[in-house]
Chain A
Amino acid sequence: MKKDLSIKKDVPEKGTLGDVLRSQGVSRRSFMKFCATTASMMALPPAMIPMIAKAMEQARRPSVIWLSFQECTGCTESLTRAHTSTIESLIFDSISLDYHHTLQAAAGSAAEAAREAAMEENYGNYLLVVDGSIPLDNPGYSTIAGISNLDMLVESAKGAAAIIAVGTCATYGGIPHANPNPTGAVSVKDIITDKPIINVPGCPPIPVVITGVLAHFLTFGSLPELDHIGRPKAFYGQSIHDRCYRRPFYDKGQFAETFDDEGAKKGWCLYKLGCKGPTTYNACATTKWNNGTSFPIESGHPCIGCSEPDFWDGGGFYKALAMPTENIAQTAVYAAAGAAAAGAAIGAMNRGKKNASNKIHIKTTIEDLSK
């Protein structure tokens, strides 16, 4: 069945990762450099570099089944097209990607047969990668070859060694989950509870993060250390704000007020333009995008917080974090008007009571006292 797939026919079928890289013309020096970068990104000591190199060289290509549910294919685009001919992409190419319905040539029952064959052959050992959220309201909202997303996920997860949820849709529900969530979209973690799940959020996630996670899995045979919402700490351990090169401007109180004012031209902090850097944990500020060219803030746009749950419902991308998400001025005016009316009414009632008691008050005269 694998012959039906269009993925990397020039890659040796069952070779080790080292064989694959050598066949692609990757030098030992470049490979060691990649291992060193991976080690430093994952905050591992330099002594681990040779170990990573050895483990990765000898690693058998793991079977990977990639499921795409309610998504936009942005994650796949990010991971496959971010940069060409880098070792990261070769590592990605070097896995045995046995099912990915966007990338594979086969379709329909032939494609599903490939998935079933890969699952059977590598039962208990394959990696399941999922991008996209799963609709629960109606299974018909999203189907592949007539199989609902929910059924396919549950079935494919059974024999998986681990699941990597890629992108904010698979990790936290993402755009489909945004209010009012018309499809009842949920994340992988909401459905699968008995498998190790690693969340690689982002809209899309940084390519090097997914290869880093794969490298960790190939080296140690286990998942990296995760934070409280399932993200690898090595990449999501620090906020964008803390690693942002514009941070000194924030500290000095120098802000761009609009997208084309003097502050914006001077590269000042984008906090007032809605930057979510202070509440967003991701590696953009350090690893950057497009082969290390830049990241959104460097291009002059505030961080939208795409690696955090519910970032679509955070009250607007261009609203500063300190600003209320609702119209508080209007609320306050209504509250003031209501309270003033209530106050006036209570005051009038009190006055009426006072006047009434004054009316029935009988004055005591001297005659009364001398009775």
Chain B
Amino acid sequence: MTEIELLSWARGPGLQIASIVFVAGVIIRFFEILVLGRKANLAEAKGREMSSGLKTMITRTVPDKATFKRSSVTIVLGYIFHIGLFVICFFSAPHILFLKDIIGFGWPSLPTAVIDAFAVVTIIALVATLVNRLTNKVMRYLTNFEDLLTWLLTFLPVVTGYIAFHRIGFTAPSLLAIHILSVELLLIVFPFTKLMHAFTLFIARWYNGAISGYRGVAS
């Protein structure tokens, strides 16, 4: 297989396989969560579920003081790499083109120098997250295989994208193919690991807020 063939496979059949697993996986996971159902709450409602749930979806974005004090490094690093990933994923010109081809519309991109800077900061933040996870005794105790796997699968697309853009080491077609394949790997593993939090995050927040709302207590 030549490198152009590998690239064509990654852009075609490889991406098809990854998107089937990703889309079907995410939807089945949603069914798993939602169709399961909850037992009827027989207690009398003391407040509103919906408004408290919706409010909590937003308010939980800001960590409370005690939590922040306890795990400031984790929170700050987490914010940096999440924002970085968001900007790289949705504001680099090639990524917008990719999404436009699938969803039918695009939006203006940021200059490559800006994306490059975000990529460097994201890579540093991700490495720091791993170092923090391995050096902090409690974190290390709590770390399992899935944590390391999801870290690696998040790290690879960023670092391969950076290398592909700067063409370090290999030739451009191989680097681009490796970058796309790393994203496909992420998509395939996504629905079956904690990476699902990108979708379930807001359901969980709403549910937490709704429970408190029903009981008439602050969320």
Contacts and interface: CB of A to CB of B under 8 A. Distances in A.
B152 interface: no
B12 A324 contact: yes
A308 interface: yes
Contacts of A347: 31, 35
Main secondary structure of the interface of A (DSSP, over half): helix
A346 B4 contact: no
Contacts of A241: 172
Interface string A317-343: 001111111101101101110111011
Interface stretch (A18-26, A86-94, A141-149, A250-258): A250-258
Contact of A309 (B2, B31, B101): B2
A326 B2 contact: no
Contacts, number: 137
Interface stretch (A101-109, A153-161, A271-279, A284-292): A271-279
A351 B23 CA distance: 24
Nearest to B176: A279
A253 B112 contact: yes
B40 to A, nearest CB: 13
Given A320-B94, A326-B13, A326-B16, A310 B101 contact: no
Give the residue among B13, B23, B37, B103 with the most A Cβ atoms within 10 A.
B23
* Among A242, A251, A335, residue most surrounded by chain B Cβ atoms (within 10 Å): A335
A280 B173 CA distance: 8
A349 to B, nearest CB: 10
A329 B104 contact: yes
Given A272-B97, A343-B30, A329 B102 contact: yes
B93 interface: yes
A203 to B, nearest CB: 14
Given A251-B113, A326-B16, A228 B98 contact: no
B76 interface: no
A93 B95 CA distance: 49
A253 B28 contact: no
B19 interface: yes
Nearest to B113: A251
A317 to B, nearest CB: 13
Given A309-B5, A332-B102, A339-B23, A323 B111 contact: no
A320 B16 contact: no
B72 interface: no
B30 A308 contact: no
Contacts of B7: 279, 314
Contacts of B55: none
Contacts of B23: 332, 335-336, 339
Residue of B7, B12, B172 with highest tally of chain A CB at under 10 A: B172
Nearest to A308: B4
A310 B113 contact: no
Given A279-B4, A310-B4, A343-B28, A251 B112 contact: yes
Given A251-B113, A253-B108, A339-B27, 18 more contacts: A228-B171, A241-B172, A251-B111, A308-B173, A319-B101, A323-B98, A325-B12, A326-B11, A328-B102, A329-B103, A331-B20, A338-B24, A339-B23, A339-B24, A340-B31, A343-B32, A350-B35, A350-B36
Smallest CB-CB A-B distances: 9 pairs:
A343-B31, A347-B35, A322-B94, A339-B24, A339-B27, A325-B12, A323-B101, A335-B23, A335-B20
23 contacts: A229-B2, A252-B111, A272-B93, A278-B176, A279-B4, A280-B172, A305-B4, A309-B5, A310-B4, A313-B5, A313-B8, A324-B15, A324-B98, A324-B102, A326-B11, A328-B101, A332-B19, A335-B27, A336-B27, A343-B28, A344-B31, A346-B31, A346-B35
